[in-house]
Amino acid sequence: MASHSEAGQVRPGGRTARTREAVCRATLQELAEHGYGNLSVEAVAERSGVHKTTIYRRWRDVDGLVVDSLNFAVDDDWQPYLSGDVRSNLLRLAEDALHAFTDPETGPTHTAVVAAAFQSSRAEAAVQGFFEDRFGRASAIVETAIAREELPPRIDRYAVIQAMMAPIYFRLFIARNPVGKEDIEQAVDVALAAARNGVFDRNSGDRS
Amino acid sequence: MASHSEAGQVRPGGRTARTREAVCRATLQELAEHGYGNLSVEAVAERSGVHKTTIYRRWRDVDGLVVDSLNFAVDDDWQPYLSGDVRSNLLRLAEDALHAFTDPETGPTHTAVVAAAFQSSRAEAAVQGFFEDRFGRASAIVETAIAREELPPRIDRYAVIQAMMAPIYFRLFIARNPVGKEDIEQAVDVALAAARNGVFDRNSGDRS
Protein backbone atom coordinates (compact mmCIF):
# COMPACT_ATOMS: atom_id res chain seq x y z
CA MET A 1 0.00 0.00 0.00
CA ALA A 2 1.38 3.37 -1.03
CA SER A 3 0.71 5.02 2.31
CA HIS A 4 2.89 2.45 4.06
CA SER A 5 6.04 3.36 2.15
CA GLU A 6 5.34 7.04 2.70
CA ALA A 7 4.56 6.72 6.38
CA GLY A 8 8.26 6.95 7.27
CA GLN A 9 8.52 10.34 5.63
CA VAL A 10 5.72 11.93 7.62
CA ARG A 11 6.88 14.69 9.95
CA PRO A 12 4.41 15.33 12.77
CA GLY A 13 2.66 18.60 12.06
CA GLY A 14 4.12 18.80 8.55
CA ARG A 15 2.14 19.17 5.35
CA THR A 16 1.95 15.41 4.80
CA ALA A 17 0.55 14.92 8.29
CA ARG A 18 -1.98 17.70 7.80
CA THR A 19 -3.09 16.15 4.52
CA ARG A 20 -3.50 12.77 6.19
CA GLU A 21 -5.49 14.27 9.03
CA ALA A 22 -7.84 16.08 6.63
CA VAL A 23 -8.35 12.99 4.48
CA CYS A 24 -8.84 10.59 7.40
CA ARG A 25 -11.27 12.90 9.17
CA ALA A 26 -13.26 13.32 5.95
CA THR A 27 -13.28 9.54 5.42
CA LEU A 28 -14.58 8.91 8.94
CA GLN A 29 -17.26 11.56 8.58
CA GLU A 30 -18.38 10.16 5.22
CA LEU A 31 -18.44 6.64 6.70
CA ALA A 32 -20.49 7.79 9.69
CA GLU A 33 -22.98 9.71 7.58
CA HIS A 34 -23.36 7.53 4.50
CA GLY A 35 -21.83 4.13 5.27
CA TYR A 36 -19.19 2.10 3.49
CA GLY A 37 -21.49 1.28 0.57
CA ASN A 38 -21.65 4.95 -0.41
CA LEU A 39 -18.05 5.92 0.32
CA SER A 40 -16.18 7.37 -2.65
CA VAL A 41 -12.78 8.93 -3.25
CA GLU A 42 -14.57 11.86 -4.89
CA ALA A 43 -16.65 12.60 -1.77
CA VAL A 44 -13.56 12.39 0.46
CA ALA A 45 -11.67 14.70 -1.89
CA GLU A 46 -14.46 17.26 -1.84
CA ARG A 47 -14.91 17.10 1.93
CA SER A 48 -11.20 17.22 2.78
CA GLY A 49 -10.18 19.77 0.16
CA VAL A 50 -7.40 17.40 -0.93
CA HIS A 51 -7.19 16.74 -4.66
CA LYS A 52 -8.41 13.33 -5.65
CA THR A 53 -5.26 12.50 -7.62
CA THR A 54 -3.34 12.91 -4.34
CA ILE A 55 -5.82 10.60 -2.60
CA TYR A 56 -5.59 7.97 -5.34
CA ARG A 57 -1.79 8.13 -5.22
CA ARG A 58 -1.45 7.79 -1.43
CA TRP A 59 -4.48 5.68 -0.50
CA ARG A 60 -5.23 3.99 -3.84
CA ASP A 61 -8.92 3.28 -3.19
CA VAL A 62 -11.81 3.36 -0.74
CA ASP A 63 -10.45 0.41 1.25
CA GLY A 64 -7.08 2.14 1.62
CA LEU A 65 -8.91 5.15 3.05
CA VAL A 66 -10.90 3.04 5.51
CA VAL A 67 -7.88 1.14 6.81
CA ASP A 68 -5.71 4.23 7.25
CA SER A 69 -8.56 6.16 8.86
CA LEU A 70 -9.04 3.40 11.42
CA ASN A 71 -5.33 3.56 12.22
CA PHE A 72 -5.61 7.34 12.41
CA ALA A 73 -8.62 7.18 14.76
CA VAL A 74 -6.91 4.76 17.14
CA ASP A 75 -4.99 6.26 20.03
CA ASP A 76 -1.57 4.60 19.80
CA ASP A 77 -0.66 5.58 23.35
CA TRP A 78 -3.70 3.95 24.91
CA GLN A 79 -3.04 1.88 28.03
CA PRO A 80 -5.56 0.37 30.42
CA TYR A 81 -6.25 1.87 33.80
CA LEU A 82 -4.39 -0.23 36.39
CA SER A 83 -4.62 1.73 39.62
CA GLY A 84 -7.63 0.05 41.23
CA ASP A 85 -8.40 -3.54 42.10
CA VAL A 86 -9.16 -5.93 39.26
CA ARG A 87 -12.91 -5.32 39.35
CA SER A 88 -12.65 -1.54 39.20
CA ASN A 89 -9.97 -1.70 36.48
CA LEU A 90 -12.23 -3.94 34.36
CA LEU A 91 -15.23 -1.69 34.98
CA ARG A 92 -13.22 1.29 33.82
CA LEU A 93 -12.11 -0.58 30.70
CA ALA A 94 -15.70 -1.46 29.82
CA GLU A 95 -16.97 2.05 30.53
CA ASP A 96 -14.28 3.59 28.32
CA ALA A 97 -15.08 1.21 25.45
CA LEU A 98 -18.79 1.89 25.77
CA HIS A 99 -18.12 5.60 25.76
CA ALA A 100 -15.96 5.40 22.62
CA PHE A 101 -18.77 3.64 20.74
CA THR A 102 -21.72 5.68 22.05
CA ASP A 103 -20.35 9.19 22.56
CA PRO A 104 -22.01 11.52 19.99
CA GLU A 105 -18.59 12.70 18.78
CA THR A 106 -16.65 9.44 18.45
CA GLY A 107 -19.45 6.84 18.39
CA PRO A 108 -20.72 7.22 14.82
CA THR A 109 -17.27 6.90 13.24
CA HIS A 110 -16.22 3.93 15.39
CA THR A 111 -19.52 2.24 14.67
CA ALA A 112 -19.17 2.92 10.95
CA VAL A 113 -15.83 1.11 10.89
CA VAL A 114 -17.35 -1.96 12.61
CA ALA A 115 -20.13 -1.85 10.01
CA ALA A 116 -17.66 -1.49 7.13
CA ALA A 117 -16.08 -4.80 8.18
CA PHE A 118 -19.26 -6.53 6.98
CA GLN A 119 -18.62 -5.28 3.47
CA SER A 120 -14.86 -5.07 3.01
CA SER A 121 -12.28 -7.74 3.78
CA ARG A 122 -9.61 -5.07 4.32
CA ALA A 123 -11.81 -3.21 6.79
CA GLU A 124 -12.48 -6.58 8.42
CA ALA A 125 -8.75 -7.24 8.83
CA ALA A 126 -8.24 -3.75 10.25
CA VAL A 127 -11.02 -4.19 12.81
CA GLN A 128 -9.67 -7.62 13.75
CA GLY A 129 -6.24 -6.07 14.30
CA PHE A 130 -7.74 -3.29 16.37
CA PHE A 131 -9.42 -5.68 18.81
CA GLU A 132 -6.36 -7.91 19.04
CA ASP A 133 -4.23 -4.90 19.86
CA ARG A 134 -6.64 -3.43 22.41
CA PHE A 135 -7.48 -6.67 24.16
CA GLY A 136 -3.79 -7.54 24.20
CA ARG A 137 -2.97 -4.25 25.96
CA ALA A 138 -5.97 -4.61 28.27
CA SER A 139 -4.63 -8.01 29.35
CA ALA A 140 -2.27 -6.02 31.59
CA ILE A 141 -5.26 -5.66 33.93
CA VAL A 142 -5.35 -9.43 34.36
CA GLU A 143 -1.55 -9.64 34.60
CA THR A 144 -1.58 -7.05 37.38
CA ALA A 145 -4.39 -8.90 39.17
CA ILE A 146 -2.37 -12.12 39.04
CA ALA A 147 0.70 -10.35 40.42
CA ARG A 148 -1.47 -9.12 43.30
CA GLU A 149 -2.93 -12.60 43.78
CA GLU A 150 -6.44 -11.37 42.96
CA LEU A 151 -6.73 -14.00 40.21
CA PRO A 152 -5.13 -17.45 39.80
CA PRO A 153 -1.87 -17.43 37.81
CA ARG A 154 -2.62 -19.98 35.10
CA ILE A 155 -5.48 -18.17 33.33
CA ASP A 156 -5.52 -17.00 29.72
CA ARG A 157 -5.31 -13.21 30.14
CA TYR A 158 -6.80 -12.39 26.75
CA ALA A 159 -9.76 -14.71 27.30
CA VAL A 160 -10.75 -12.84 30.47
CA ILE A 161 -10.82 -9.52 28.61
CA GLN A 162 -12.75 -11.00 25.69
CA ALA A 163 -15.33 -12.64 27.97
CA MET A 164 -15.85 -9.35 29.76
CA MET A 165 -16.14 -7.17 26.65
CA ALA A 166 -18.16 -9.50 24.39
CA PRO A 167 -21.57 -8.96 26.05
CA ILE A 168 -21.18 -5.19 25.79
CA TYR A 169 -20.43 -5.27 22.07
CA PHE A 170 -23.10 -7.92 21.57
CA ARG A 171 -25.78 -5.73 23.10
CA LEU A 172 -24.61 -2.64 21.23
CA PHE A 173 -24.10 -4.02 17.73
CA ILE A 174 -25.89 -7.36 17.44
CA ALA A 175 -28.89 -7.64 19.78
CA ARG A 176 -29.28 -3.83 19.69
CA ASN A 177 -30.14 -3.38 23.36
CA PRO A 178 -29.08 -0.49 25.57
CA VAL A 179 -26.02 -1.02 27.76
CA GLY A 180 -26.48 0.23 31.31
CA LYS A 181 -24.30 0.29 34.40
CA GLU A 182 -25.82 -3.02 35.57
CA ASP A 183 -24.95 -4.67 32.23
CA ILE A 184 -21.33 -3.57 32.59
CA GLU A 185 -21.15 -4.82 36.17
CA GLN A 186 -22.68 -8.14 35.20
CA ALA A 187 -20.20 -8.57 32.32
CA VAL A 188 -17.29 -7.92 34.67
CA ASP A 189 -18.65 -10.26 37.35
CA VAL A 190 -19.26 -13.03 34.81
CA ALA A 191 -15.64 -12.85 33.64
CA LEU A 192 -14.29 -12.76 37.19
CA ALA A 193 -16.45 -15.70 38.34
CA ALA A 194 -15.26 -17.74 35.36
CA ALA A 195 -11.62 -16.73 35.96
CA ARG A 196 -11.83 -17.74 39.62
CA ASN A 197 -13.46 -21.07 38.78
CA GLY A 198 -10.88 -22.34 36.33
CA VAL A 199 -12.74 -21.72 33.05
CA PHE A 200 -9.84 -19.75 31.55
CA ASP A 201 -7.08 -22.02 32.86
CA ARG A 202 -4.47 -22.83 30.27
CA ASN A 203 -3.07 -26.28 29.69
CA SER A 204 0.04 -26.87 31.77
CA GLY A 205 2.19 -26.75 28.60
CA ASP A 206 1.38 -23.08 27.98
CA ARG A 207 3.37 -20.18 29.32
CA SER A 208 2.20 -16.66 30.13
CA MET B 1 -47.40 -1.58 7.25
CA ALA B 2 -49.38 -2.96 4.30
CA SER B 3 -47.98 -6.46 4.63
CA HIS B 4 -49.27 -6.70 8.19
CA SER B 5 -52.91 -6.15 7.29
CA GLU B 6 -52.58 -8.67 4.46
CA ALA B 7 -50.85 -11.32 6.54
CA GLY B 8 -54.17 -12.60 7.84
CA GLN B 9 -55.34 -13.31 4.32
CA VAL B 10 -52.37 -15.47 3.37
CA ARG B 11 -53.27 -19.09 2.73
CA PRO B 12 -50.25 -21.40 3.06
CA GLY B 13 -49.23 -22.54 -0.40
CA GLY B 14 -51.57 -20.05 -2.08
CA ARG B 15 -50.56 -17.45 -4.66
CA THR B 16 -50.02 -14.76 -2.02
CA ALA B 17 -47.72 -17.07 -0.09
CA ARG B 18 -45.78 -17.97 -3.24
CA THR B 19 -45.36 -14.30 -4.11
CA ARG B 20 -44.11 -13.59 -0.62
CA GLU B 21 -41.66 -16.46 -0.77
CA ALA B 22 -40.27 -15.31 -4.14
CA VAL B 23 -39.92 -11.70 -2.97
CA CYS B 24 -38.39 -12.55 0.40
CA ARG B 25 -35.91 -15.00 -1.11
CA ALA B 26 -34.90 -12.42 -3.70
CA THR B 27 -34.50 -9.76 -0.99
CA LEU B 28 -32.28 -12.02 1.10
CA GLN B 29 -30.16 -12.93 -1.92
CA GLU B 30 -29.77 -9.29 -2.91
CA LEU B 31 -28.87 -8.39 0.68
CA ALA B 32 -26.29 -11.17 0.87
CA GLU B 33 -24.69 -10.28 -2.46
CA HIS B 34 -24.84 -6.50 -2.49
CA GLY B 35 -25.66 -5.31 1.03
CA TYR B 36 -28.38 -3.05 2.36
CA GLY B 37 -26.83 0.06 0.83
CA ASN B 38 -27.40 -1.31 -2.67
CA LEU B 39 -30.79 -2.92 -2.12
CA SER B 40 -33.55 -1.66 -4.41
CA VAL B 41 -37.17 -2.56 -5.09
CA GLU B 42 -36.26 -2.74 -8.79
CA ALA B 43 -33.57 -5.38 -8.22
CA VAL B 44 -35.90 -7.45 -6.02
CA ALA B 45 -38.63 -7.19 -8.67
CA GLU B 46 -36.30 -8.38 -11.40
CA ARG B 47 -34.86 -11.23 -9.34
CA SER B 48 -38.21 -12.46 -8.01
CA GLY B 49 -40.21 -12.03 -11.21
CA VAL B 50 -42.83 -10.12 -9.20
CA HIS B 51 -43.92 -6.80 -10.67
CA LYS B 52 -42.53 -3.82 -8.81
CA THR B 53 -45.96 -2.19 -8.40
CA THR B 54 -47.00 -5.31 -6.44
CA ILE B 55 -43.88 -5.00 -4.29
CA TYR B 56 -44.47 -1.29 -3.64
CA ARG B 57 -48.09 -1.99 -2.71
CA ARG B 58 -47.39 -4.86 -0.29
CA TRP B 59 -43.98 -3.96 1.11
CA ARG B 60 -43.91 -0.21 0.45
CA ASP B 61 -40.09 0.19 0.43
CA VAL B 62 -36.72 -1.42 0.95
CA ASP B 63 -37.12 -1.45 4.74
CA GLY B 64 -40.46 -3.21 4.43
CA LEU B 65 -38.74 -5.87 2.34
CA VAL B 66 -35.91 -6.33 4.84
CA VAL B 67 -38.23 -6.64 7.85
CA ASP B 68 -40.61 -9.10 6.19
CA SER B 69 -37.71 -11.15 4.79
CA LEU B 70 -36.22 -11.50 8.26
CA ASN B 71 -39.60 -12.74 9.54
CA PHE B 72 -39.79 -15.07 6.54
CA ALA B 73 -36.28 -16.46 7.18
CA VAL B 74 -37.00 -17.16 10.84
CA ASP B 75 -38.30 -20.59 11.71
CA ASP B 76 -41.40 -19.88 13.78
CA ASP B 77 -41.51 -23.41 15.15
CA TRP B 78 -37.98 -23.31 16.53
CA GLN B 79 -37.53 -24.67 20.03
CA PRO B 80 -34.30 -25.37 21.89
CA TYR B 81 -32.97 -28.87 22.35
CA LEU B 82 -33.78 -29.93 25.92
CA SER B 83 -32.98 -33.64 26.05
CA GLY B 84 -29.48 -33.53 27.50
CA ASP B 85 -28.03 -32.02 30.65
CA VAL B 86 -27.72 -28.24 30.81
CA ARG B 87 -24.18 -28.17 29.41
CA SER B 88 -24.98 -30.30 26.37
CA ASN B 89 -28.23 -28.40 25.72
CA LEU B 90 -26.32 -25.10 25.77
CA LEU B 91 -23.57 -26.52 23.55
CA ARG B 92 -26.20 -27.60 21.05
CA LEU B 93 -27.82 -24.15 21.13
CA ALA B 94 -24.48 -22.47 20.43
CA GLU B 95 -23.55 -24.91 17.68
CA ASP B 96 -26.90 -24.42 15.93
CA ALA B 97 -26.56 -20.62 16.06
CA LEU B 98 -23.02 -20.78 14.76
CA HIS B 99 -24.16 -23.04 11.95
CA ALA B 100 -27.00 -20.70 10.97
CA PHE B 101 -24.56 -17.79 10.62
CA THR B 102 -21.67 -19.64 8.95
CA ASP B 103 -23.33 -22.29 6.77
CA PRO B 104 -22.71 -21.40 3.09
CA GLU B 105 -26.44 -21.57 2.36
CA THR B 106 -27.96 -19.65 5.29
CA GLY B 107 -24.94 -17.72 6.62
CA PRO B 108 -24.69 -14.91 4.05
CA THR B 109 -28.36 -13.90 4.34
CA HIS B 110 -28.41 -14.04 8.14
CA THR B 111 -25.21 -12.02 8.25
CA ALA B 112 -26.60 -9.49 5.78
CA VAL B 113 -29.57 -8.82 8.06
CA VAL B 114 -27.26 -8.21 11.04
CA ALA B 115 -25.28 -5.82 8.82
CA ALA B 116 -28.45 -4.06 7.60
CA ALA B 117 -29.24 -3.18 11.23
CA PHE B 118 -26.29 -0.77 11.14
CA GLN B 119 -27.97 1.22 8.39
CA SER B 120 -31.72 0.95 8.94
CA SER B 121 -33.62 1.57 12.16
CA ARG B 122 -36.39 -0.79 11.02
CA ALA B 123 -33.91 -3.57 10.31
CA GLU B 124 -32.39 -2.79 13.71
CA ALA B 125 -35.78 -3.22 15.42
CA ALA B 126 -36.36 -6.48 13.54
CA VAL B 127 -32.98 -7.89 14.56
CA GLN B 128 -33.59 -6.81 18.15
CA GLY B 129 -36.93 -8.61 18.11
CA PHE B 130 -35.34 -11.71 16.62
CA PHE B 131 -32.78 -12.03 19.42
CA GLU B 132 -35.35 -11.30 22.12
CA ASP B 133 -37.60 -14.02 20.72
CA ARG B 134 -34.83 -16.59 20.30
CA PHE B 135 -33.13 -15.97 23.63
CA GLY B 136 -36.55 -16.00 25.29
CA ARG B 137 -37.30 -19.43 23.84
CA ALA B 138 -33.79 -20.67 24.61
CA SER B 139 -34.34 -19.71 28.24
CA ALA B 140 -36.28 -23.00 28.49
CA ILE B 141 -32.87 -24.67 28.70
CA VAL B 142 -32.17 -22.77 31.93
CA GLU B 143 -35.70 -23.36 33.19
CA THR B 144 -35.31 -27.09 32.63
CA ALA B 145 -31.91 -27.06 34.37
CA ILE B 146 -33.45 -25.33 37.39
CA ALA B 147 -36.28 -27.89 37.52
CA ARG B 148 -33.61 -30.62 37.55
CA GLU B 149 -31.63 -28.75 40.21
CA GLU B 150 -28.66 -28.37 37.87
CA LEU B 151 -28.74 -24.59 38.41
CA PRO B 152 -29.90 -22.44 41.34
CA PRO B 153 -33.55 -21.29 41.08
CA ARG B 154 -33.17 -17.57 41.47
CA ILE B 155 -31.14 -16.82 38.33
CA ASP B 156 -32.20 -14.62 35.42
CA ARG B 157 -32.78 -17.21 32.64
CA TYR B 158 -32.35 -14.78 29.78
CA ALA B 159 -29.07 -13.45 31.17
CA VAL B 160 -27.54 -16.95 31.14
CA ILE B 161 -28.41 -17.39 27.46
CA GLN B 162 -27.10 -13.95 26.55
CA ALA B 163 -23.83 -14.47 28.45
CA MET B 164 -23.31 -17.76 26.65
CA MET B 165 -24.12 -16.52 23.14
CA ALA B 166 -22.47 -13.08 23.26
CA PRO B 167 -18.84 -14.26 22.86
CA ILE B 168 -19.78 -16.32 19.80
CA TYR B 169 -21.45 -13.40 18.03
CA PHE B 170 -18.68 -11.09 19.19
CA ARG B 171 -15.99 -13.26 17.59
CA LEU B 172 -18.01 -13.72 14.39
CA PHE B 173 -19.20 -10.20 13.73
CA ILE B 174 -17.14 -7.75 15.78
CA ALA B 175 -13.63 -9.06 16.49
CA ARG B 176 -13.78 -11.16 13.31
CA ASN B 177 -12.08 -14.23 14.73
CA PRO B 178 -12.89 -17.85 13.90
CA VAL B 179 -15.19 -19.69 16.31
CA GLY B 180 -13.99 -23.20 17.11
CA LYS B 181 -15.30 -25.98 19.31
CA GLU B 182 -13.12 -24.77 22.19
CA ASP B 183 -14.59 -21.26 21.92
CA ILE B 184 -18.10 -22.66 22.18
CA GLU B 185 -17.19 -24.82 25.16
CA GLN B 186 -15.54 -21.89 26.90
CA ALA B 187 -18.60 -19.67 26.30
CA VAL B 188 -20.87 -22.31 27.83
CA ASP B 189 -18.56 -22.90 30.79
CA VAL B 190 -18.25 -19.16 31.47
CA ALA B 191 -22.05 -18.81 31.63
CA LEU B 192 -22.43 -21.89 33.84
CA ALA B 193 -19.69 -20.79 36.25
CA ALA B 194 -21.31 -17.37 36.56
CA ALA B 195 -24.77 -18.92 37.03
CA ARG B 196 -23.51 -21.22 39.77
CA ASN B 197 -21.72 -18.38 41.54
CA GLY B 198 -24.65 -16.04 41.88
CA VAL B 199 -23.80 -13.54 39.13
CA PHE B 200 -27.22 -13.87 37.48
CA ASP B 201 -29.23 -13.96 40.72
CA ARG B 202 -32.30 -11.77 40.60
CA ASN B 203 -33.30 -9.49 43.39
CA SER B 204 -35.65 -11.20 45.80
CA GLY B 205 -38.54 -9.03 44.59
CA ASP B 206 -38.43 -10.55 41.07
CA ARG B 207 -40.38 -13.56 39.98
CA SER B 208 -39.49 -16.10 37.33
Q: Which has the closest alpha carbon to B86: B153, B164, B142, B157?
A: B142
Contact at CB, A193 and B197, closer than 8 angstroms: yes
Name every chain A residue with its beta carbon within 8 A of the beta carbon of B125: 176
Residue of B5 and A32 predicted with greater confidence: A32
Chain A residues with CB-CB distance to B173 below 8 A: 118, 173-174
A11 pLDDT band, cuts 50/70/90, is low
Candidates B30, B90, B118, B183, partner chain A, best to mutate (most A CBs within 10 A): B118
For A159, which residue in chain B has the nearest alpha carbon? B186
Q: Write down the pTM of the prediction.
A: 0.88
Q: Closest by alpha carbon to A180, among A83, A91, A106?
A: A91
> pLDDT tens across A112-160, in order?
999 999 989 999 999 999 999 999 999 999 999 999 999 999 999 999 9
Mean pLDDT calculated for residue range B49-72: 94
Does pLDDT of A7 surpass 80? no
Determine the Cα–Cα distance for residues A129 and A160; give it in Å rounded to an integer. Answer: 18
Q: B115: which chain A residues are within 8 Å (Cβ-Cβ)? A: 115, 118-119
Is B99's pLDDT higher than 60? yes
Percent of chain B with pLDDT over 90: 78
| Mean pLDDT value across chain B | 90
pLDDT band at A12; cut points 50, 70, 90: low
pLDDT for A175 equals 96
Indicate whether A3 pLDDT > 60. Answer: no
B residues 69-98 closer than 8 Å to A (CB): none
pLDDT band at B76 (very low <50, low <70, confident <90, very high): confident
What ipTM does the predicted assembly reach? 0.88
pLDDT digits (tens, 9 = 90+) for A151-196: 999 999 999 999 999 999 999 999 999 999 999 999 999 999 999 9
Per-residue pLDDT reduced to its tens digit, B149-188: 999 999 999 999 999 999 999 999 999 999 999 999 999 9
pLDDT over 50 at B125, yes or no? yes
Q: Give the length of chain B.
A: 208
Are A172 and A102 a contacting pair, CB within 8 Å?
Answer: yes
Mean pLDDT of chain A: 90
Contacts of B37 in chain A (CB under 8 A): 35-38, 119
Cα A175 to Cα A183: distance, rounded to the nearest angstrom = 13
Letter for the amino acid at B72? F
Can you name the residues that pair with A155 across neighbouring β-strands?
A201
Residue B4 confidence (pLDDT) above 50:
no
Give me the pLDDT at residue B208, please: 40
More confident residue, B33 or A208: B33
**Using one digit for the tens of pLDDT, what is the confidence trace for A17-57?**
999 999 999 999 999 988 888 899 999 999 999 999 999 99
- The residue of chain B with its CA nearest to that of A133 is B175
Chain B residues touching residue A159 (CB < 8 angstroms): 186
Q: What percent of chain A has pLDDT over 70?
A: 92
pLDDT at residue A34, rounded to an integer? 87
- One DSSP character per residue, A33-95 reads HH-GGG--HHHHHHHHT--HHHHHHHH-SHHHHHHHHHHHHS-TT-----SS-HHHHHHHHHH
Measured distance CA(A109)–CA(A30) in Å, rounded: 9
Find, in chain A, the residue whose alpha carbon is nearest to that of B191.
A190
Mutation target to probe the B interface, by most B beta carbons within 10 A, among A174, A183, A185 is A174
**Non-local CB neighbours of B91 within 8 Å, separated by 6+ positions:** B184, B185, B188
